């Protein structure tokens, strides 16, 4: 499997395969950006998660598909009788959600995935399975 299998398709929004993908501005700005790198021992996925903690993020692995999602809703506003609290004129930051899925390469050891959040960046380390060494098969004369 090639290294591009980690990336979800740019053309997921295509209807019939003949049209260009649609561009959803709201979805584009709400979906966190991802960097993926690899080395000999593992793949490392880093996703921007500003303002989110480990409690705000859900990570699932199902049939070799890694899905990272989050739904964050502000708590219901309680009315205050204090005039100094003020009233909202514009309130656009009350709800956010996203979901991204990545098909993992076959050499990922799914039992050893590890995730952490630090300084607004989610890091998922995906160790590679050890590849079995080639075996030498002795040939006997018949």
What pLDDT is recorded for position 29?
58
Percentage of residues of the chain with pLDDT beyond 90: 41
| 57: nearest Cα among 120, 103, 110, 8 | 120
pLDDT band at residue 13 under the 50/70/90 scheme = very low
Burial class for 84, CB neighbours closer than 10 Å (0-12, 13-18, 19+) = exposed
């Amino acid at each position: 499997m090639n290294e591009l299998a980690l990336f979800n398709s740019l053309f997921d929004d295509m209807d019939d395969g003949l049209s260009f993908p649609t561009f959803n501005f709201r979805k584009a700005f709400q979906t966190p950006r991802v960097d993926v790198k690899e080395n000999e021992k593992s793949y490392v996925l880093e996703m921007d998660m500003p303002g989110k903690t480990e409690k705000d993020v859900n990570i699932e692995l199902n049939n070799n598909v890694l899905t990272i999602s989050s739904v964050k809703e502000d708590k219901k506003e309680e009315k205050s009788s204090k005039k100094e609290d003020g009233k909202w004129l514009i309130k656009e930051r009350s709800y956010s959600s996203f979901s991204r899925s990545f098909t993992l390469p076959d050499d990922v050891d799914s039992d050893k995935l590890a995730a952490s959040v630090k300084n607004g960046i989610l890091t998922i380390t995906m160790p590679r399975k050890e590849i079995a060494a080639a075996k030498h098969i002795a040939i006997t004369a018949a």
